[in-house]
Each structure stands twice: as C-alpha cells, then as structure tokens.
Amino acid sequence: MSPLRDAARFILKLLGWTLIDLPQRPPKAVVIAYPHTSNWDFPVTLLAIAALPFGAHWVGKDTMFRGMLGPIMRALGGIAVNRRERTGFVERLADEYRRRENFHMIIATEGTRRRQEGWKSGFYRIAVAAKVPVIMATVDYGKREVGLLASIELSGDQDADMARITACYEGRTGFHHENASPIRLL
C-alpha cells in the first residue's frame, strides 16, 4: 500500500463510505460513472481513484481546465472535452486505448449533473471502437458505496448491452436522486 492510497481509504472510511472493487479488472476499459447528480461526486470519485490501485483518467468539460485549475485538473488525471462541437474525441480516445497496454477512462454518462432524457452515447462508441469492455462505477449516496460494480464486454446490440448496464445500476442513488437521468442512449 502507498501512503496516498492509505490516506484516501482512511478519509473515505472516516466519511462513512465503503469502497467497492472488482476481484479482477481488465487492463483496459471505459469506466462509466452513474448517477452523476452533484458536485460532491467529484471529490468522492477522486478519493476512490486514489484509494484503489487504479490510475484511472477521467473526462471533464473543457471549462474545468481553464486558468489556474487546468494544470491541477490534468495532474489529477483529467482530460478536457469540448462538448459544444465535434472534435473527433471518440476516435482520439479509441486510438489512445489501442496505443496503451493499460488504460482506464472514467466518463460521466449523463454529461451533466442535471436530469437529461438519457445518456450521451460517447462511452459506448469509444468502447466499441477500441474493442474494450465497460466497467460500471458508482457514487451511491443511498448505500454510501463508491467504486466499481461490474465489467461487461459489449455485444454491439445496444438494447441488450444497455439492459445489462441498467441491471448493474438497479437501486443505486445519487445525492440529488431526482436528477438521475434514465438509463438509455440518446
């Protein structure tokens, strides 16, 4: 164990969180985070990343990376995405997966903390293009659990894959549970 990992585990425990992990993680995966309903999700997630032997990166809106916060966000594993225009982000990330032996990227599927009509499909398109599994992650305020729930290989049948993902998130609640978006691709 490292001092940072020990400290993160201690802080999570002190705050009443239970850390959950998979018995074995694939070396590469798109990690989806749901539900994302509060700014509190970010520090709890960063603690979980530090507490797990993981080294994951995460995607955030480009405005989080402006000014003095930019270098800090990148040092914490952040990768900026411009959601206002098409930039080839899906293919760039798929290339990154193909280039590396180990790579995990956390993506908030809803793309915002407010309720939407469904999920953005970028995570799915990245996983299919890169031929990597999807790991379901959660910050569950109802159960006070944070971490990784399951890993699945996508079949390419979106309806069947989304049904499996939905089953993994059954009963998981966000800080503002009314803001959780329905689990379906837009």
pLDDT attached to residue 83: 67
Q: Which of 18-27, 62-71, 89-98, 177-186 has the highest mean pLDDT?
A: 18-27
pTM for this predicted structure: 0.89
pLDDT attached to residue 165: 97
- How buried is residue 150: exposed, middle or buried, by Cβ count under 10 Å (0-12/13-18/19+)? middle
Task: Give per-residue pLDDT as tens, 41-78.
Answer: 989 999 999 999 878 998 888 888 999 999 998 988 88
Q: Is the distance from CB of 38 to CB of 177 less than 8 angstroms?
A: no
pLDDT attached to residue 40: 94
Task: Give per-residue pLDDT as tens, 147-178.
Answer: 999 999 999 999 999 999 999 999 999 999 99
pLDDT attached to residue 18: 98
Alpha carbon separation from 115 to 41, 78, 101, 119 (Å, rounded): 15, 23, 35, 10
Mean pLDDT is lowest, of 20-24, 26-30, 45-49, 57-61, for: 57-61
Task: Give per-residue pLDDT as tens, 107-137.
Answer: 988 877 788 888 989 899 999 999 999 999 9
End-to-end CA distance of the chain: 41
